[in-house]
Amino acid sequence: MGEEQKLTPAEQLAVARQAFEEGTDFTLAVEEEFALLDPESRELVNRFEELKAAVVGTDLEPDFIGELIASEAEVRTGRCEEFGQAAAAIVERRRQLHEIAAPLGIELASTGTHPWSRWQDQRIIDTPHYRRNDEILRYVVWRNNTFGLHVHVGIQGGDRAIAVCNALRNFLPELLAYSASSPIVENVDSGLHSARTQVFTKMFPRCGIPDAYDGWKGFEDYVDFLYRTESINEHTQLWWSVRPHLAYPTVEIRIADAQPDAAGSQSLAALAYAIAVRCARAIDEGEPLPDLPHRLLEENFWRAIRHGLSGQLIDFDRGEPIAARARIEQLLEWVSPVASEIGAAPFLTIPTQNAAERQRARLAEGWSLAEIFAEQIADGVPGV
């Protein structure tokens, strides 16, 4: 990272372009963000540095990092060649993290938001990157006590990577609806299925669904404009829900809520991965792909935030709403030609209830917020 920071923006873009040209198709990595909790109160606790010190020297160390606040930690699968490898790594990283956290008296949770802990009580970790974000964003970054799941997919070729990003824009609402896990925040039922998305994508600049770009040159011109106008001072300040990553030759899908249990993470990551690969194949073969304007995608984006898998999404081919689950079924059929080849097929399922729906069902049954959160935590404990 130190060498990367010494490059000028133009040099960094040139290096990133070359990395994409020399990259490998369809490798993947999955990143999961976890809340650090007091095991008795289940409040967020600012103990990242203690956990990090305990991770040093263990097998988890290369795949463990901080993520904004001291009551959060991120684990990564590392680069995987096919989905079965990534699915196994998701389980293993969770097991490793729990085994290190438990003796410290740290409990873990993985939902898009914490149900009640106050953002005012969380401390931003002391790194140059997050100090810069704090200085630039202030309240916006303070408020972002949210937890997500990201999927990196290797795509060879700069122009091709931008084309895949352009195509993936059209499927972000479906992935969000599938992943929704955060109906409860600030000690209330938000009425949403993904309060995380409302908090994060509607507050951060350069966030949510991006524009489509005319190849690498169009993307590069925009990033250069942001640097020249002093709108950004590092490439990670592009917080879009899908983006070409300038440090790795990957397309990063960032739309999803975190998942309470490993099986949910596996299924979600499998769907995101399969859609990305299917888009790349369609581009290679000249198959037409959706190219929807931002204003229409925003309609489905809001539907996914508000109603998740329980609601309807607009079928733009027919110009009418359909059940979100029916739309996911269409996607599963569409990705089926590549799913077995990339090892994703065994993990592609539509849950009877996703995490948000389970929580909303408990609310309807009269469960307290503490009881609902306890169930989500228990779902994430390895071997339980």
Mean pLDDT confidence for 282-311: 97
- Report whether 278 contacts 26 (CB < 8 A): no
How would you write 98-156 as a 3-class SS string? Answer: HHHHHHHCCEEECCCECCCCCHHHCCECCCHHHHHHHHHHCHHHHCCCECEEEEEEECC
Burial class from Cβ neighbours inside 10 Å (0-12, 13-18, 19+) for residue 1 reads exposed
Mean pLDDT confidence for 277-287: 98
pLDDT for position 7: 87
User: Is 275 a residue whose pLDDT tops 60?
Assistant: yes
Q: Calculate ∠ Cα 159-23-257, nearest 5°.
A: 80
Nearest Cα to 371, choosing from 194, 141, 116?
116
- Report whether 193 contacts 111 (CB < 8 A): no
Q: What 3-state class would DSSP assign to 22?
A: coil
Q: What is the pLDDT of residues 94-120, one digit of tens each?
A: 999 999 999 999 999 999 999 999 999
User: Is 2 a residue whose pLDDT tops 50?
Assistant: no
pLDDT band of 6, cuts 50, 70, 90: confident
Q: DSSP character for 347?
A: G
Domains and CATH numbers, the chain: 2-376 (3.30.590.20)
User: Is 227 a residue whose pLDDT tops 60?
Assistant: yes
pLDDT for position 303: 98
pLDDT band of 162, cuts 50, 70, 90: very high
Q: What is the pLDDT of residues 28-43, one digit of tens each?
A: 999 999 999 999 999 9
User: Is 377 a residue whose pLDDT tops 80?
Assistant: yes
pLDDT band of 384, cuts 50, 70, 90: low
**Average pLDDT of the chain to the nearest whole number:** 96
Do the bridges between strand 28-37 and strand 148-154 make them parallel or antiparallel, or are there none, so unpaired? Answer: antiparallel
Counting residues of the chain whose pLDDT is more than 70, the rounded percentage is 98
User: Is 4 a residue whose pLDDT tops 80?
Assistant: no
pLDDT for position 5: 53
Mean pLDDT confidence for 362-376: 97
Q: Between residues 108 and 128, which one has the greater pLDDT?
A: 108
Q: What is the pTM of this model?
A: 0.96
pLDDT band of 315, cuts 50, 70, 90: very high
pLDDT for position 349: 96
Mean pLDDT confidence for 61-83: 97
Mean pLDDT confidence for 166-194: 98
pLDDT band of 177, cuts 50, 70, 90: very high
Mean pLDDT confidence for 7-35: 96
Nearest Cα to 185, choosing from 152, 157, 238, 145?
145
Distance, in Å, from the CA atom of 134 to the CA atom of 237, rounded to the nearest integer, reads 12
